Each structure stands twice: as C-alpha cells, then as structure tokens.
C-alpha cells in the first residue's frame, strides 16, 4: 500500500527509532518460534517448504490498486504442514531498499476435494522514504509503518481448471498518520493450467473488488496472468488493474510485467 500523507519530523524520527526496529525483530523471532513449536507437534504428516522469487518492472501490492511505482523484487515463501503454514512476504525495490515485510499465518479450516476455507492473519511493516529537515537541510529518511490484518478465503473448485470464491482482507494501522482502517472484498475466479502451444500453460485470475480505506472507497477490476512451461520453474506473470469508480487515491490504471522462479520441497516428518 502506498498512501499519500503528511507528517511531522518528530513522527518520522519516531518511526525510524531503534525501538521500533527491535520490536520488529522480536516479533519475527517469536513468529518463527511459535511456528516451530506447532510444526513439531504434527506427527507423520506431510510438510512443505516452497517459494516464488519475482522480478518486476512495477511492484504491485497485495491490494492491486496500490503500487511501489518502480521496479521491485518479491520473495514469497511458505513453510508448513497440511493445514497450518507460515507465509512471509518480502518486497524490495531494485535498489535494495525495503518496501514491505508481511508475516502471514494461514490455516485451512476446511480442506475438502471441492470446497476449501482458509483463514489468515499477519503483522506487516511498510517502508517509505519521506523528506525531513536535518540541520537545516532536506534529507530523505526511511519511515516504518505498522499494520495488522486478517483474511478469510472460501473457494469452490468446479473442475480441475476452474475455481471461484470470495476473498476478504481487513487491515488496521498502528500509526499516528493514516491509513487507519482498510477493507478489501473480492469476487475471485481462477482459470488454471489452460493448455497452450509448446507445452505452455496459462493461469488467469480475474477479480472484481471493492476497497474502502478510512473515509474513501471504490470499485475495481483486476486480473493476474501467469505463463509457464510444464515442469519448468521459470515463468512470466502480469497484473492489470482498472479503476471503475473510486475516491481512494491512486492511478486509474495499474500494470506490471514480471519474471518469476518457483521452487518447492515436500517431505515427511515423523514424531519421535
């Protein structure tokens, strides 16, 4: 998310304080410790470690109407069992400066052949550069904003290649400046493994979504495209988002093009 806001120098310096960075580090370590404990309690179940690394000309947020506005690299990881997973997301600009760190915990409440219901929650840290006056000179400093969010994602699988469902995300900011509350509701459809030429496959994920950020709101359409060859880890993806009617600050049309690499490892873990 890339909101436009004004703030004082004291607020900026507070956001940059070592105390905030220490709390962020502690939260990451606690998340890993709790997950490891939950992970070790599962007996004779399958586990996975997987991820996707993406390089793109324009970093687009989880809410696809918000962008970084410049080239970015994404690291999306997932480690877990059959139901519980820890899915951290790290976004950086191509210059190496952080954009966002999101630490997802997800749980499959219902895991049926046709119907699934996933719930999740995360703390997130969004970084942005803001101009401040230092010794009478204007300099840019990195500001950290903290958020907490939860998600609900029911999905029904009609066939091997078509699914549909809803996706709801609610977030709250713990900062002296907006945004304070956001709500994202999407009608989600997925067309997967569509066969093309030369053993190529296409995945299309169109969405119609409603977004409310504090006192502003709007409707949008978006779609994500992923093209890859069978049994090959590298592919091409793209996201296109068009504003229909909205008072939320942001571009009317957002797009990107990326190159991604997938990796996955599955294994068994027996309780000792």
pLDDT tens digit sequence for 117-173: 999 999 999 998 888 777 888 888 888 899 999 999 999 999 999 999 999 999 999
Question: How far, in Å, CA of 207 to CA of 244, rounded?
Answer: 13
pLDDT above 90 coverage of the chain, percent: 67
For the chain, the C-alpha Rg in angstroms (whole number) is 20
Token representation of residue 147: 């958020």
What's the confidence (pLDDT) of residue 158?
A: 96
Segment 31-41 mean pLDDT: 48
Domain at 9-269: CATH architecture: Beta Barrel (2.40)
* Residue extents of the structural domains in the chain: 9-269
The mean pLDDT value for 93-113 works out to 94
pLDDT at position 180 over 80: yes
H/E segment holding residue 25: helix 18-40
Least Cα distance to 249 among 208, 207, 217 occurs for: 217
Q: Rounded CA gap, 29 and 159, in Å? A: 40
pLDDT tens digits for range 209-266:
999 999 999 999 999 999 999 889 999 999 999 999 999 999 999 999 999 999 987 7
Q: Tell me the pTM.
A: 0.80
- Using CA of residue 132, residue 133, residue 134, residue 137, what is the dihedral sign? positive
């Amino acid at each position: 998310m890339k909101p436009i806001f004004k703030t004082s120098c004291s607020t900026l310096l507070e956001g940059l304080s070592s105390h905030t960075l220490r709390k962020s580090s502690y939260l990451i370590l606690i998340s890993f410790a709790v997950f490891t404990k939950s992970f070790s309690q599962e007996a004779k179940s399958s586990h996975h470690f997987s991820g996707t690394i993406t390089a793109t000309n324009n970093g687009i947020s989880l809410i696809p109407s918000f962008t970084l506005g410049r080239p970015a690299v994404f690291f999306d990881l997932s480690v877990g069992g059959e139901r519980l997973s820890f899915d951290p997301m790290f976004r950086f600009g191509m210059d190496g400066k952080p954009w966002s760190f999101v630490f997802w915990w997800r749980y499959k409440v219902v895991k049926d052949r046709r119907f699934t219901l996933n719930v999740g929650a995360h703390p997130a840290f969004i970084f942005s550069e803001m101009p401040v006056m230092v010794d009478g000179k204007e300099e840019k400093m990195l500001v950290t904003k903290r958020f907490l969010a939860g998600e609900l994602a029911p999905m029904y699988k009609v066939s091997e290649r078509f699914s549909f469902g809803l996706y709801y995300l609610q977030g709250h900011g713990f900062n002296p400046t907006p945004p304070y509350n956001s709500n994202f509701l999407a009608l989600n459809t997925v067309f997967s493994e569509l066969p093309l030429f030369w053993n190529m496959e296409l995945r299309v994920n169109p969405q119609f979504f409603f977004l409310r950020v504090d006192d502003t709101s709007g409707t949008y359409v978006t779609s994500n495209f992923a093209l890859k060859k069978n049994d090959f880890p590298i592919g091409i993806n793209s996201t296109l988002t068009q504003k229909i009617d909205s008072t939320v600050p942001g571009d009317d049309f957002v797009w990107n093009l990326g190159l991604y690499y997938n990796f996955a490892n599955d294994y068994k873990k027996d309780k000792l």
